[in-house]
Structure 1
Amino acid sequence: MRGRLCEAGPRGRRGAPLGYPAILRGAERRRRHGAASATLVRNKTPQERDTMRLTIERMAYGPDGLAHTEDGKAVFVAGGVVGDVVEARVDSEDASLVRATVESVVEASPHRVEAPCPFVGVCGGCPWGALDRKTQLAAKEDNLRSALMRIGKFTADEVAALVRPIRSTRDAWGYRNKVELAPSVERGRVRLGMHGRDPKQIISVGSCPLFEKKYSRAIKAVAGALGYLGNSRDLSLDRVGVRASRRTGAVEVALWTPTGPFPRAHVARVLEDALAPTGIVRVMTKGEQRARRVSKVELLAGEGSWSEKIADGRMRVSAPSFFQVNTAAAEILIDLVMDALKPEPEDLAIDLYCGAGTFTMPLARRCDFVAAVEAYGPAVRDLRHNIDAANLSNVDIIGGDAVKEFPDQDADVLVVDPPRAGLAAEAVGLIASTSARDVAYVSCDPATLARDLARFRADGTFRVVSATPVDLFPQTFHCETVVHLTRNN
């Protein structure tokens, strides 16, 4: 999410931004000097690290390109794209792999493009921004196939039959409805920016080419206003979320802070002057930094939630709740789920890990009854609001863990959209215990998806019909997948 057009940030020796342009500047120079083709070049001084001449073979499931040394060891190369020949600095090495960073591109790949962000490779949000879209899509398909074979133990022929062509939207940039800013203090001044590839690094930004284009000035306005305020008082900001919808015009600023005193009126007034958002909220949290929980959401100005139109409906989502950052691509997910399940008017449906209702509401419009299970309190409250606002009376909302609170009712169709960790081992058996004829599994991680599909195969109740990758996150390696499973006869 954090690809940026930045006002300030890391600079090379001659003052130019590091990243794509700086990397390529070395290519022509090295061609003129006839750089050698040695795999490993030892530097002359012990203070300098080794460098390698490498050819990037493919994109890994991660931000890096993948290459190999002459002896076959895998090298994950930050800043490399498939087809590049690069000089890469070795960052770390162990018995199984090497991690390296591109210092210069000796021969640029035909798949390399110049992104609208000069901090590709420096900022953490668009690590594949220098790779053309067609190659990104092919790499995501390949990563899904690889996971199904390596982890799921499906054969190459099975994978070829199961994996459908990747689905994508038109917008490769400007698709995100949400970004997050992180605070830092530099020379005594508070500033907000995006996390860099190194999460400890905060990069100041004026706009982000991944963020909704209609509201491109929102990031600069929010960062400037809160930076100004933070220099005269302690805001204790953990992070700041900005959500915007081109479909509804809703713009929300969410300030995440610990509990305690806060200049509510002053913050609201300055943000309203800077941006005029439709809502400003403060999300108060308690607990240790790594395990903080939401204590309260406080309305500072305007509306207390953000609204979006999706799949012929409208949803309101509070700041702590999850919502897909790519609305148009989320509609592809919904279409694929409905195509897999083909819900009928008399059907009973179960929606596990339902969130604020992305799949619950379309199912409720098509089925007789839906049991929706969600553990996260803010999402449960949002779901209740969305169901009531849509006048849907055929949904039983169950708050709790999907395994512990698995619905007592039976089901004709079932959808499951778990977090990145995938399904608990017990969930496969519980799903199999229903009489559901079809299951739609929506996954955000190919590895845990492949593991879970292997569990379904071992159980024997369901077989995999298809797996369709969906490009929800252009310019990154992340990819969603919708899998259709049907009951064995």
Structure 2
Amino acid sequence: MSSRQRRPVRHARAKQPRGRSRIGERFEVEVGAIAHGGHVVARVPTGGVHEPTGEPETRVVFVRHAVPGERVVVEITEGTDGDRFWRGDAVEVLAPSPDRVVPPCPYAGPGKCGGCDFQHVSPTAQRDLKAAVIREQLVRLARLDPTDPLLETRVEAVPGDEDGLRWRTRQSYARTADGSRAMRLHRSHDVIAVGDCLIARTDAREPAPGTVTERVLGRDFTVATDGFWQVHPGAPETLVTTVLDLLDPRPGERALDLYAGVGLFAAFLADRVGSEGRVVAIEGDAQASALSQGNVPSAECSVGDVLPALSSYPESFDLVVLDPPREGARRAVVEEVVARSPRAVAYVACDPAALARDLAIFAEHGYRAAALRAFDLFPMTHHVECVALVVPSDATEG
């Protein structure tokens, strides 16, 4: 798992107004489908008229704190007359979905903590919403046929949380003016004091310099306490077993572990390919790469950005593990992977949009997604982890 931080939190940027502000206006609407990012889609009247048709003008609103199909009152939180879309919060629910629940966290809701997207949705329905987003991204960006069996993928619960709560083994906090623990509001620098974050374990660590030992499937890994390691306690074992099941490494094979972090995947690949095989682990963070050498002494651990570092390994490889940061591997890296003619690639992705985009690039070069699993490693949020098996398009099934 890459030690690179996943995409940093982005706060709303100050921008020049494009006409009259609509912030604070309220509309009664029936919300539609879930969209990537933790919100549902609605349309509200703007009060204007669409000139070519004479029809009433509407604007798309991305609505938080609602469930598809509900009738709600939406309050606009971002938007002007000139914007292509607005953002809003469901501040009143007129016709609730059967999937709606009372948020277990008192800090969840409109105008409160921005850390969770789905506290108001039952855990089972949360996973259904995430699966719908994965399907939409794969059809739209990866251009999969709507009848492709991969689109039947369900998001699987992972052991280690308590009905979607108490899963973060590491938690960062903002601070109030008096130094109390706090979380930021959605798309804002403003904070709200938080006594107890319910998705954090009671023994969750705040990032600080140092190292800690993590144990996965009987192996110990030295990890930087302020570096990347999956925060759901069930994640490392789940991802390792899934990657190994999909790749089925064989003795004597050559494997590339890209964005290798502290060597989690490299360690188990090395066990499978044995002394006659070869594992190369490339990681951009110097500290993580140094730790990977200690964690996987039999691997060749190379520090540096993946794309230029690959130039040192022009030969073919049988297997590749890709575990990039949130923005994905992107075209140049995908093309370098394909150039090494692997028989199988395991792509570990924390953003289904980036995964779908990169699968389309693989398809351009004669590789297809042959299997897909998805895991709920971030309950109560819109985030989801996927593992895709990518193989040459002419590879036979099984």
TM-score range, shorter chain: 0.7 to 0.9
Aligned pair partner of 2:122 in 125, 128, 132? 132
Cα deviation code 1:19-50 (max 9, x no counterpart): xxxxxxxxxxxxxxxxxxxxxxxxxxx99842
- In 2, are the aligned partners of 1:341 and 1:439 still within 8 Å (CA)? yes
Corresponding residue for 2:92? 104
Which stretch has the larger CA shift, 450-459 or 204-213? 204-213
Would you say 1:151 and 2:144 are equivalent positions?
A: no
Choose 1 or 2 for highest CA Rg. 1
| C-alpha deviation, 1:383, in angstroms | 1.2
Which stretch has the larger CA shift, 82-91 or 468-477? 82-91
Corresponding residue for 2:153? 164
Runs of 4+ in 1 over 6 A off after TM superposition: none
Matches within 5 A, 1:406-485: 406=310, 407-460=313-366, 462-485=367-390
| C-alpha deviation, 1:113, in angstroms | 0.8
| C-alpha deviation, 1:72, in angstroms | 6.1
Equivalent position SS for 1:464: strand
What is the distance in 2 between the residues matched to 1:486 and 1:48?
Answer: 49
Equivalent position SS for 1:75: strand
- In 2, are the aligned partners of 1:329 and 1:471 still within 8 Å (CA)? no
| C-alpha deviation, 1:83, in angstroms | 3.4
- In 2, are the aligned partners of 1:193 and 1:204 still within 8 Å (CA)? yes
Corresponding residue for 2:42? 67
Root mean square deviation, CA, Å: 2.2
Corresponding residue for 2:70? 84
Matches within 5 A, 1:160-199: 160-161=149-150, 163-170=152-159, 171=161, 172-185=164-177, 189-199=178-188
Residues 206, 429 of structure 1: alpha-carbon distance in 2 compared, 3 angstrom cutoff? same
- In 2, are the aligned partners of 1:65 and 1:82 still within 8 Å (CA)? yes
Cα deviation code 1:376-410 (max 9, x no counterpart): 112112212322xxxxx420001111111112443
Aligned pair partner of 2:200 in 211, 228, 234? 211
- In 2, are the aligned partners of 1:164 and 1:466 still within 8 Å (CA)? no
Aligned pair partner of 1:310 in 208, 213, 216? 216
Q: AA paired with 1:463?
A: R
Aligned pair partner of 1:120 in 103, 108, 114? 108
Structure 1: segments with no counterpart, 5+ residues: 1-45, 216-241, 244-252, 256-280, 282-303, 388-392
Between the two structures, name the one with larger relative contact order (CA 8 Å, sep ≥ 6): 2
What is the distance in 2 between the residues matched to 1:444 and 1:364?
Answer: 24
| C-alpha deviation, 1:163, in angstroms | 4.7
- In 2, are the aligned partners of 1:403 and 1:424 still within 8 Å (CA)? no
Aligned pair partner of 1:376 in 271, 279, 285? 285
Corresponding residue for 1:54? 29
Matches within 5 A, 1:2-401: 49-69=24-44, 73-91=59-77, 92-93=79-80, 94=82, 96-121=84-109, 122-158=112-148, 160-161=149-150, 163-170=152-159, 171=161, 172-185=164-177, 189-213=178-202, 215=203, 243=205, 253-255=206-208, 281=209, 304-367=210-273, 368-387=277-296, 393-401=297-305
Which stretch has the larger CA shift, 197-206 or 415-424? 197-206
Equivalent position SS for 2:167: coil
Equivalent position SS for 2:255: strand
- In 1, are the aligned partners of 2:181 and 2:195 still within 8 Å (CA)? no
Alignment length, in residue pairs?
A: 351
| C-alpha deviation, 1:98, in angstroms | 2.6
Q: AA paired with 2:170?
A: K
| C-alpha deviation, 1:442, in angstroms | 0.8
